[in-house]
Structure 1
């Protein structure tokens, strides 16, 4: 528990020195909070990008096997070019769905500003201003 120093006997120089020290500590603490918040958001972005890439790779290999199978199966009842066209369109629709899911993961990491740290810093500034105005009254 931090002990609040008495300010009624302190000189102006001592008060300014304390203010400078406390402001410096406050800024360092806010910077640490901002860094932690940005690290968490970067982790979400990394996971989203990784999932997006893994989804694309899996779709490629699975799709390659299924493309050949689907084209061969449809070629039994349609001309080969029509079978290939149908399968190609289906693959493009599947790729769009995977891309949308990856985009949603990346969006969870935005905005990239440390919102909690900024709010905390704003509260601190407001408190300092209010305390300063009470001192002058």
Structure 2
């Protein structure tokens, strides 16, 4: 007759309740770690989004202030040389270019936001961990 099945090499056997408790603890730990990873990644993405939004805001304020103060002075100075209409057009084009450059830099910052790629990648692996060897056949 053959020896009885003993899952533990030390000869100890664990109850089904102990095994389920261990699996539950492992799953709980896994999900806590995933939540922490997601928090870290989203925090980093939020900082980049804030930086990009700040640049957009800075572009708007800088564009407005420049148009308000410098354009009046430049318009008045050029108006003495070439006339008020042409000097106003030149001033508007110059500050439009400045605002466009700042807006493009802000857009670049916003496009660099990645979200939580590591969390998404590891969450895809979770269902595979629950597959038994019979499921993979």
TM class, shorter-length: 0.7 to 0.9
> What 5-or-longer segments of structure 1 have no aligned partner?
1-6
2:38 counterpart of 1:34: yes
Residue 127 of structure 1, CA deviation: 4.3
Of residues 1, 14, 18 in structure 2, which corresponds to 1:10? 14
What's the TM-score once normalised by structure 1's chain length?
0.76
2:69 counterpart of 1:65: yes
Count of residues in correspondence between the two structures: 127
Coordinate RMSD, CA, aligned: 2.6
Distance 1:133 1:33 in 2: 29
Structure with higher Rg: it is 2
Instruction: Kindly provide the CA deviation profile for residues 34-68 of structure 1, in whole angstroms up to 9, marking residues without a partner as x.
Output: 11111111011112211221232233223323212
Of residues 70, 76, 83 in structure 1, which corresponds to 2:87? 83
Residue 125 of structure 1, CA deviation: 4.0
Instruction: Kindly provide the CA deviation profile for residues 76-120 of structure 1, in whole angstroms up to 9, marking residues without a partner as x.
Output: 22221121122112222221221111111122224x3x2111222
2:29 counterpart of 1:25: yes
Greater relative CO, 1 or 2 (CA 8 Å, sep 6+): 1
Residue 128 of structure 1, CA deviation: 4.5
Distance 1:48 1:32 in 2: 25
What's the TM-score once normalised by structure 2's chain length?
0.76
The corresponding residue for 1:115 is 117
Distance 1:75 1:92 in 2: 19
The corresponding residue for 2:107 is 103
Is the partner of 1:109 in helix, strand or coil? coil
The corresponding residue for 1:3 is none
